[in-house]
Amino acid sequence: MFKFKSITVKLFFLFLIVGIIPLFLIGFLSIRSTEGGIRKEVLNGLVRYTETKEGQIFAYIEFVKIKGSYFSKSDTIRRYVETFKKGQYINPSEVNDFLKKKAAMDEVLVGMSIVDLNGKVVFSSSKSEIGKDESNHKHFIEIAKEEKDSSIKSGLMIHEHFGLYNAFITSHPIKNEEGDILAVIDVVFSLNEIIDILNGDFQLEKGALTGKSGLEGMNSYVVNQEKIMFIHPIKGDLSMPHYERMKVDTLPVKECLENGKQIIDTYKTYTGKEVLGASMCIPDSRWVIISEISIDKAFLAVKEIYYQLVLMMIVSFLLVVGISLLLTDKVSKYLNKFTTASNQVARGNLDVKIDIDTDDEIGFLAKNLNKMIVSLKRSRVQIEKEISVRTKDLENINKYMVGREIKMIELKEKIKNIEKDGYDLKKKLSWDERLKNAEDMEENIILKLKNSYLRAINESDLDIVKKKKALGLIKELINGSVKHKKYLAKINKK
Partner 1 sequence: MADKNKNLIKMIENLYYIEKDARDLYNAFLEKINDPKKIKIIKEVRDDKNKHIKIAKELLKIVKSK
Q: CA Rg, the chain, in Å?
A: 62
Count of residues of this chain found to bind partner 1 when the rule CB under 8 A is applied: 44
**Judged by CB under 8 A, does residue 396 bind partner 1?**
no
Cβ proximity to partner 1: between 20 and 470 the closer is 470
**Contact predicate 55/198, CB 8 Å:** no
**Contact predicate 454/474, CB 8 Å:** yes
Q: How far is the CB of 349 from partner 1 (least distance, A)?
A: 22
Can you tell me the distance from the alpha carbon of 347 to that of 395, in angstroms, rounded to the nearest whole number?
Answer: 30
Can you tell me the distance from the alpha carbon of 456 to that of 432, in angstroms, rounded to the nearest whole number?
Answer: 35
x/- letters, 24..63, toward partner 1 (CB under 8 A): ----------------------------------------
Q: Which one among 311, 383, 402, 411 touches partner 1, defined by CB under 8 A?
A: 402
**Judged by CB under 8 A, does residue 484 bind partner 1?**
yes
**Judged by CB under 8 A, does residue 411 bind partner 1?**
no
The separation between CA 481 and the C-alpha centre of its own chain, rounded to angstroms, equals 94
DSSP-based three-state secondary structure for 393: helix
Q: How far is the CB of 486 from partner 1 (least distance, A)?
A: 10
Interface with partner 1 by CB under 8 A: which range of 95-103, 134-142, 248-256, 435-443? 435-443
Q: Give the N- to C-terminal CA distance of the chain in Å, as an integer.
A: 90
Kindly give, in sequence order, each residue whose CB lies less than 8 Å from that of residue 43, ignoring residues fewer than 6 positions away: 264, 265, 276, 278
What letter represents residue 41's amino acid? E
Q: How far is CA 101 from CA 96, 124, 327, 491, in A?
A: 9, 11, 90, 176
Q: Which one among 394, 436, 450, 454 touches partner 1, defined by CB under 8 A?
A: 394
**φ/ψ (deg, to 5) at 106:** -115, 120
Interface with partner 1 by CB under 8 A: which range of 15-23, 226-234, 282-290, 440-448? 440-448
Among candidate residues 126, 115, 122, 127, the one with its CA nearest the CA of residue 90: 122
Cβ proximity to partner 1: between 380 and 412 the closer is 412
**Contact predicate 363/355, CB 8 Å:** no
**Judged by CB under 8 A, does residue 438 bind partner 1?**
yes
Cβ proximity to partner 1: between 134 and 442 the closer is 442
Element (DSSP H or E) covering residue 376: helix 361-421
State which of positions 451-480 bind partner 1 (CB under 8 A): 452-453, 456-457, 459-463, 466, 469-470, 473-474, 476-477, 480
Q: Which one among 32, 378, 380, 434 touches partner 1, defined by CB under 8 A?
A: 434
Element (DSSP H or E) covering residue 223: strand 218-223
Cβ proximity to partner 1: between 226 and 459 the closer is 459
Name the residues that contact partner 1, by CB under 8 A.
391, 394-395, 398, 401-402, 405, 408-409, 412, 431, 434-435, 438, 441-442, 445, 448-449, 452-453, 456-457, 459-463, 466, 469-470, 473-474, 476-477, 480-481, 483-484, 487-488, 490-491, 494
